[in-house]
A and B are shown apart, each in its own frame.
Chain A
Amino acid sequence: MKNIMAIAVLATGLSGCALPYFEPLEPTRVEVAGSYTVDPQIKWSRGKTQHVEIWTVDGPLLESVRFFDARADGDPLLVPGPDQTLPTFKKDMRASEVQEFVVDTLSASGASRVEASNLRPWDFGVLSGFRFELSYVNQDGLEYDAFAVGAISEEKLYLILYAGTRRYYYPKYRGFAEAIVASIQPAA
């Protein structure tokens, strides 16, 4: 019977999103994901989990900017929970396939009705990358909007995701999130 309760606890959030410790972040240019710098624009709280750095103001379930560490061939986007299989990144993926990879990862992590649209070329700092918009519903039935920007360079995937609850928090910080992803520069 213990198994059942273990599942109950595991399944309460999206996987890989176990909440880290958050600390204030000064709004000055900062290195993220160990590979590039961005201008935060405003005062965010910053938390780090394995493979992803999360910035939020009102709480990560309401809105967040997520900077994923560079993912190499065979890596999942998130750390899979026990008995969980997550899709993995392949080095020869095109933008369309990265979009599928992100949609599949969200779906496998408990989101439902995940839809992606508007895939288009987009400059990720100096890299020619891509961007797409997302919408999904979490396990509590909360509706989210999101956008993702990314690029593949030297067989590694760089990805940033901004997500927030549809009605209020997504639009509230969207302008700042846009400015952040427009400010990407290679780390010195």
Chain B
Amino acid sequence: MRRLGSVALLVLACSGCATVGPVEDIQPGERPSLETDEAGLWMYMDRMETALATSGRVVTDPALNAYVRDIVCRLSPDYCRDIRIYIVRTPHFNATMAPNGFMQVWTGLMLRATNEAQLAYVIGHEIGHFQRRHSIQRWRDARNKTDFAAVFQVAAAAAGAGYAGSLASLAAIASILSFSRDQEREADDVGFTTMANAGYDPEQAPRIWEALLEERDASDKPEQVVFFATHPSTEERIGTLREQAQALIAKGAPRDAGAEKYKRIVGPFRDEWLRDEFRKREYAETEVVMNRLLAEERQNGDVLFMKGEFYRIRDESGDEDRAIEAYKAALLGDGAPPETHRSLGLVFWDAGRNDEARASFAEYLRAAPDASDRKMVEAYVKELETPQ
């Protein structure tokens, strides 16, 4: 995990220098002619794309994929047929864009966006890299330097079997697709203009960066926030975006955030993706993510249940009580899953509150009579009924 940041930074270090001549925007449907260096770069990206596609890391849910595709097409009807989206199950905030139209949207990003407009802004930013052909500029820069061979090796390794689905390979691909600061600014501009033109609330653009900054500030290992390694983002960029957003809003720009639709389509995946977050064991960051979700939906029994799960799994001093409190709040809120009772039972049992544990397990069995772990929980109840 520690390597993740350094890989990205290493490769980034070889970009950011003088760009080798400007290139023109890519045209919709355009493919580089075969004898060019650009065609060579596309070939590597095609191989990486194939490897990722079969890695088991890609979220295949048709509704979710159709939703993200629709966002791309709403943002850019011109390029929408040239861009292939892969929703990649990995708990880090990131999105990448390869020159051949291979776009990755990581679930860690989708978990953190609280509405469609925020996701649309990041996707717009990635479309900006595609449109402006940033990769080929970057590739030519790298080739003029000694690091060319290394970049080449990463490309070859990333396409290798078994490696494609790993976090390290995802980071390596992201690093190949890292851009210079000027390119990032340009992509920011394109992303912002694109999302605003598509009618999305422009104010959501700085929001997603702000959320990420908050997480970075809470983190004990801020250098590991992948996105900052490849997308140098600063308070200054947030300030610029905020001013641009205010100017547009003053002129009466449309302000569609798409929060309801986003919750409806992305919501069913939230618990899984949160559990992926928990597994990173970077609890300070995860707590920020958790609190943001809660700020959006205070009464949501499911989010409150996940808050309880967070404390139960973190298991630091005082977390037992925090977990119990969250589970109880979940049961008073809307739509807490039956598993809330089971988790509450486990925490009570751990705390030696055996009567409450037994009652919670019994409640779980009533709430989920067909639960697949029914026999185990019945055994818990029996054990708790046996005098010690």
B388 touches A (CB below 8 Å):
no
Q: A100–B1 Cα gap in the complex (Å)?
A: 21
Q: A130–B150 Cα gap in the complex (Å)?
A: 49
Q: A10–B167 Cα gap in the complex (Å)?
A: 11
The closest CB in chain B to the CB of A119 belongs to B373
Q: A118–B370 Cα gap in the complex (Å)?
A: 11
The closest CB in chain B to the CB of A83 belongs to B2
A96 touches B (CB below 8 Å):
yes
B264 touches A (CB below 8 Å):
no
Contact B10 A4 (CB under 8 A): yes
Contact B7 A4 (CB under 8 A): yes
The closest CB in chain A to the CB of B350 belongs to A92
Contact with B along A162-188 (1 / 0, CB 8 A): 000000000000000000000000000
Q: Given A8-B168, A96-B376, list of 9 further CB < 8 A pairs?
A: A4-B157, A4-B175, A7-B172, A11-B168, A94-B380, A139-B55, A139-B57, A140-B162, A140-B165
List 9 A-B pairs, Cβ < 8 Å. A4-B154, A5-B153, A7-B7, A11-B163, A12-B162, A112-B56, A120-B373, A120-B376, A139-B162
A16 touches B (CB below 8 Å):
no
Contact with A along B89-101 (1 / 0, CB 8 A): 1000000000000
Q: How far is the CB of A141 from chain B (nearest CB, A)?
A: 4
Contact A141 B153 (CB under 8 A): no
A47 touches B (CB below 8 Å):
no
Interface residues on B, range: 35 or more
B349 touches A (CB below 8 Å):
yes
Contact with A along B157-186 (1 / 0, CB 8 A): 110111111111101100100000000000
Q: A59–B89 Cα gap in the complex (Å)?
A: 28
B323 touches A (CB below 8 Å):
no
Which chain B residues lie closer than 8 Å to A142 at the CB level?
56
Contact B376 A119 (CB under 8 A): yes
Known: A96-B342, A96-B376, A120-B375. A3 touches B10 (CB 8 A): yes
Contact A83 B379 (CB under 8 A): no
The closest CB in chain A to the CB of B172 belongs to A4
Contact A10 B168 (CB under 8 A): yes
Please tell me which stretch of A48-56, A66-74, A103-111 contacts chain B, meaning at least 4 of its Cβ atoms lie within 8 angstroms of it: A103-111
Which chain B residues lie closer than 8 Å to A12 at the CB level?
160-163, 166
Taking CB atoms and an 8 Å cut-off, the chain B residues in 303-335 that contact chain A are 313, 315
> Which residue from B3, B150, B377, B380 sits with its C-beta under 8 Å from A7?
B3
B261 touches A (CB below 8 Å):
no
A32 touches B (CB below 8 Å):
no
Known: A4-B7, A8-B160, A112-B165. A96 touches B56 (CB 8 A): no
Taking CB atoms and an 8 Å cut-off, the chain A residues in 72-107 that contact chain B are 83-85, 87, 90, 92, 94-97, 100, 104, 107
Contact B1 A83 (CB under 8 A): yes
Residues of A within 8 A of B (CB): 1, 3-8, 10-13, 83-85, 87, 90, 92, 94-97, 100, 104, 107-108, 110, 112-113, 117-121, 130, 132, 137-143
Known: A11-B168, A96-B373. A138 touches B56 (CB 8 A): yes
The closest CB in chain A to the CB of B379 belongs to A121
Contact A141 B55 (CB under 8 A): yes
Q: A94–B354 Cα gap in the complex (Å)?
A: 14
Known: A1-B150, A7-B7. A95 touches B376 (CB 8 A): yes
The closest CB in chain B to the CB of A86 belongs to B281
Which chain A residues lie closer than 8 Å to B169 at the CB level?
8, 11
Q: A4–B375 Cα gap in the complex (Å)?
A: 47
Contact A83 B89 (CB under 8 A): no
> Which residue from A3, A13, A104, A137 sits with its C-beta under 8 Å from B279?
A104
Q: A54–B161 Cα gap in the complex (Å)?
A: 23
> Which residue from A83, A117, A119 sits with its C-beta under 8 Å from B3?
A83
Which chain B residues lie closer than 8 Å to A8 at the CB level?
154, 157-158, 160, 163, 168-169, 172
B346 touches A (CB below 8 Å):
yes
